[in-house]
Structure 1
Amino acid sequence: MVTLVDEAGQAIGYEDKATVHHAATPLHLAFSSYVFDDRGRVLLTQRAFSKRTWPGVWTNSCCGHPLPGETLESAVRRRLSDELGLVPTAMDLMLPAFRYRAEMPDGIVENELCPVFRVVCEGEPVANPAEVAAYEWVEWRDVAVRPELSPWCLLQLSELSTLGPLPAEWPIADPAALPAAAR
């Protein structure tokens, strides 16, 4: 289930994730995360080729949808474990009100209110093949020059770049700036 939200970020209901993504996808709550290792590299992932939305596309480390009643932080932890076998040692909110809409060539739309997190994890990922086809650790300065990234990742990179050149020094966002459905 995903949480449907109105233009003000208020929860207005729930819909089955399997049926919510189509040509008229309603605005719903999601999250994105960028995982960094102890060397400051960021983890990029290639979405599994069996995914309904953006199969095989390279993107940020992990994205997903919180379950009804689940905090965003819990959702990030759950999806990192499920998709990559990773456990965060640190997690910070970076972009509390990020929102995007993107349409695939086949007409399927993503329409998400999608707060963005910086996460630190230790160890190597163990990719779940149903979620992740491949992964790569990349120097942060080299991420923005990759044109094959997902539409939401490119938009997030543009906003994250305004926080400064060093991800470890980005200012942590105020959780009060999260949409109401995410608080």
Structure 2
Amino acid sequence: MSAPPAGAELVVLLDEAGEAVGTTEKAGVHHAATPLHLAFSCYVFDGEGRVLVTRRALHKPTWPGEWTNSFCGHPGPGEPLADAVRRRAPQEIGVEVRDVRLALPAFRYRAVMPNGVVENEMCPVYTAVAAGPVVPDPAEVDQAVWEPWADFRAGVLAGTRAISPWCAEQIALLPQDPRAAAPADPSVLPPAARV
């Protein structure tokens, strides 16, 4: 097996128990037989309690043009998830985040696109607060809007708000007001994420 190219972004591969079993390049991980891997989702709020909802860039290999949560990403090998959230926020939505909180430590999903490409992730969910104006990277985000959390949540739960499959599942599990909820227990994270 050859070493990945210098600077290649790696994702952490998992077994069914959530233990790390290796790494692979992010660029090639998503296909019809996507292996189980570690990721995260984050919901970013502003000072008024609105949530940032983003539309994925149209050229992304998974769910292009789909509306979803604020941003997602993959921790690098040995990188704590909260650190990965803080690293990824400026890269994808162009803003530093503060008050990063674990909301759903054990979230896992598998979803299949119409073309057969699969997402297959253990994907703990975080909330955070934007520390400034949002300036999305157009390579990642086609559009970004602030929406009142209660309205967004109600639309997703009612099935009237078009949204990515993982976001729909997450909204059903998140508390009515995640900003007011205590952080979740990190001991419930997949073992590979307890670094």
Coarse TM-score class (shorter-chain normalised): over 0.9
The residue type equivalent to 1:177 in the other structure is V
Could you say which residue in structure 2 is the equivalent of 1:3?
12
Could you say which residue in structure 2 is the equivalent of 1:66?
75
Specify the SS of the correspondent of 2:179.
helix
Could you say which residue in structure 1 is the equivalent of 2:6?
none
Could you say which residue in structure 2 is the equivalent of 1:175?
186
Could you list the per-position Cα deviations for residues 79-128 of structure 1 after superposition, in whole angstroms to 9, with x for gaps in the alignment? 10101111112110000010000000000000000000010113221110
Contact 2:103 2:178 in 1 (8 A): no
Matched, 1:42 2:28: no
Superposed structure 1 runs of 4+ greater than 3 Å apart? none
The residue type equivalent to 1:142 in the other structure is D
Shifted more, 165-174 versus 49-58: the winner is 165-174
Could you say which residue in structure 1 is the equivalent of 2:167?
153
Give the deviation of 1:52 after TM superposition: 0.6
Specify the SS of the correspondent of 2:53.
strand
Which runs of 5 or more structure 1 residues have no equivalent in the other structure? Answer: none
Could you say which residue in structure 1 is the equivalent of 2:41?
32
Could you say which residue in structure 2 is the equivalent of 1:97?
106
Specify the SS of the correspondent of 2:168.
helix
CA RMSD of aligned residues (A): 0.9
Give the deviation of 1:142 after TM superposition: 1.3
Query: TM-score of the superposition, structure 2-length normalised?
Result: 0.90
Contact 2:11 2:74 in 1 (8 A): yes
CA distance in 1, matches of 2:113, 2:44: 25
CA distance in 1, matches of 2:131, 2:150: 21
CA distance in 2, matches of 1:35, 1:123: 11
Could you say which residue in structure 1 is the equivalent of 2:127?
118
CA distance in 2, matches of 1:128, 1:117: 20
Query: TM-score of the superposition, structure 1-length normalised?
Result: 0.95
Count of residues in Structure 1 that have an aligned counterpart in Structure 2: 180
CA distance in 2, matches of 1:13, 1:172: 29
- Aligned-residue identity in percent: 57
The residue type equivalent to 1:88 in the other structure is V
Specify the SS of the correspondent of 2:138.
coil
CA distance in 2, matches of 1:60, 1:2: 20
